Amino acid sequence: MGFREHLQDVCRSCDGAVACSLMGVDGIEVDTHVETGGEVDVKSLLVEYSGLFRSAREASETHAAGGVSELSISTEKLLTVARMVSPEYFMVVALAPDGNFGKARYLLRVTAPKLRSEL
């Protein structure tokens, strides 16, 4: 199964999911699945969020808090949760504000090792 199929499975298995992406911490998108519709340019937003992930990781390491494994951002129109796949890559799922956040976290946790083995 390729990256795209894993990303599609996450979106289709989680109520309210609008997109799922595999990205480098440098902001370069490896692959993204976007569900149809929506008023937010999710792909561009996720690229911008990679900078926040990088900053959180650097701050955590600087202050000896350990590595960042997960990060979530909630806005009026979108809820995103990201999880590290490897030191250089992370997965992120974007949800409608009323999406199933717990299920998204679970799906990222179980899907990340599958993607890591394919990197």
Count the domains in the chain: 1
Token output for 80: 């995103």
Per-residue pLDDT of 85-116, as tens digits, reads 998 999 999 999 999 999 999 999 999 999 99
- State the amino acid at position 92 in one-letter form: V
- Residue 27: strand pairing partners: none
Per-residue pLDDT of 18-44, as tens digits, reads 999 999 988 899 999 998 766 778 888
CATH of residue 23: 3.30.450.30
What is the extent of the structural domain holding 30? Answer: 3-118
Run of H or E including 117:
helix 101-118
**Predicted TM-score (pTM) of this structure:** 0.88
Torsion angles phi and psi, residue 106, rounded to 5: -60, -50
Per-residue pLDDT of 46-73, as tens digits, reads 888 888 888 888 899 899 998 889 999 9
Torsion angles phi and psi, residue 50, rounded to 5: -60, -30
For residue 102, the SS3 value is: helix
